[in-house]
Amino acid sequence: MPTGRQCQPFSIGGLHRGDEDVRDMWPEALRGVRQIGPMGFLFENVRGLLRPKFADHLDWVRLSLAEPDLVQDAGEDTADQLDRLRAKEPDGTYRVSWLR
């Protein structure tokens, strides 16, 4: 039987550490989108990511995917970047939607 250490950071069966877990690959996914600049992309994750506990992180992922060139400033944490992302007028780089 798997232990919480083997489950994804957002999994119902895991430790529920989310973005505090070193295995959170969203920052790398965002970096990939920014560097490659694809015409479109599709990512899959566990349903647990949609829990209220991770609402701000999910919003950060969504807005960062929509605006991949708005990167974190030196010394800026994710919460401060999220505030900047929320305040920015969308420029239409990508339209991001979630399927449940």
Residue 77 bears catalytic tag: no
73 lies in a domain? Answer: yes
* Three-state SS letters, the chain: CCCHHHCCCCCCCCCCCHHHCCCCCHHHHHHHHHHHCCCCCCCCCCHHHHCHHHHHHHHHHHHHHHCCCCCCCCCCCHHHHHHHHHHCCCCCCCCCCCCC
Give the chain's domain count. Answer: 1
Measured CA to CA, the distance from residue 98 to residue 55 in angstroms comes to 13
Q: Which two tokens mark 48? A: 């647990």
Indicate whether 12 belongs to any domain.
no
pTM over 0.95: no
Asked if residue 5 belongs to a domain, the reply is: no
- Domain region containing 52: 25-100
Distances (CA, A) of 70 to 43, 64, 81: 20, 7, 8
Q: Per-residue confidence at 32, pLDDT binned at 50, 70, 90? A: very high
Q: What pLDDT does 42 receive?
A: 92
Q: What angle do CA 69, 51, 2 make, to 5 degrees?
A: 105
Catalytic-labelled residue, pool 7, 61, 66, 85: 7
Q: How confident is the model at residue 48 (pLDDT cuts 50, 70, 90)?
A: confident
What is the reported pLDDT for 10? 64
Decide if 14 is inside a domain: no
